């Protein structure tokens, strides 16, 4: 019979939170991570944010070019500045890395491969870039990621551009790269682009599959 500990390792709980405020969600992640114990189940939080720029701990002010009416929020993840907004799926991965025997690099690789899996499902040929975390299609960034690890547990996660307004990315140097092109599934597929709900199901399934396959390998 499986123990509670084994179940917690194998299958993270999924929470679909809808459109939620960034600062409030960040505080919720931090509280969850601070309060969790050895038996706390891992969780995947799927959500969208209202328009916001987030600046990572290594972020430089010069990469925020012209934010206009979109707020800029300093955050405790790695990386530089990125944009979140409606039409972009964000998944926060609240994972006990120590319990799973994973390092940060392994989690980054797992996230990137799950994103590649999802995009391949829709005939989009994507790949990670070893020099710059994220997933790219012919040099254009379609998904970003940034993590923080505290007490052996991760939070923050990934952002996949399904059908967001891409204009705000022109107001920043995305992830600290001047002139980096950003794309989306809608921009690439046009009328054949999938719905947000379809991508949500596919994305969560890909993350679950990668996490469980790694644990049982």
Catalytic residues: 175
- Those residues whose C-beta lies under 8 Å from the C-beta of residue 168, and which sit 6 or more positions away, are 51, 53, 70, 83, 85
Given strand 140-150, what is the order of strands in its sheet?
13-19, 43-48, 88-94, 153-161, 140-150, 132-137, 127-129
Q: ∠ at Cα 111 (139, 96), nearest 5°? A: 150
Both tokens assigned to 147:
């993590």
Task: Name the one residue in this structure whose structure tokens are 């972020």.
Answer: 59
- What whole-number distance in Å separates Cα of residue 150 and Cα of residue 70? 29
């Amino acid at each position: 019979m499986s123990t509670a500990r084994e179940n917690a390792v194998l299958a993270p709980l999924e929470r679909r939170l809808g459109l939620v405020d960034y600062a409030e969600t960040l505080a919720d992640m931090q509280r969850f991570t601070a309060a969790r114990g050895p038996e706390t189940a891992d969780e995947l939080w799927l959500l969208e944010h209202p328009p916001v720029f987030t600046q990572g701990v290594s972020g430089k002010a010069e990469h925020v070019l012209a934010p206009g009416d979109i707020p800029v929020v300093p955050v405790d993840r790695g990386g530089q500045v990125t944009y979140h907004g409606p039409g972009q799926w964000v998944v926060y991965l609240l994972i006990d890395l120590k319990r799973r025997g994973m390092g940060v690099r392994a989690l980054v690789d797992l996230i990137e491969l799950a994103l590649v899996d999802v995009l391949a499902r829709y005939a989009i040929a994507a790949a990670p870039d070893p020099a710059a975390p994220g997933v790219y299609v012919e040099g254009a960034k379609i998904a970003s990621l940034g993590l923080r690890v505290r007490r052996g547990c991760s939070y923050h996660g990934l952002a996949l551009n399904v059908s967001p307004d891409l204009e705000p990315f022109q107001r920043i140097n995305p992830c600290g790269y001047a002139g980096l092109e950003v794309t989306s599934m809608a921009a690439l597929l046009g009328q054949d682009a999938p719905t947000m709900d379809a991508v949500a199901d596919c994305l969560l399934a890909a993350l679950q599959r990668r996490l469980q396959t790694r644990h049982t390998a």
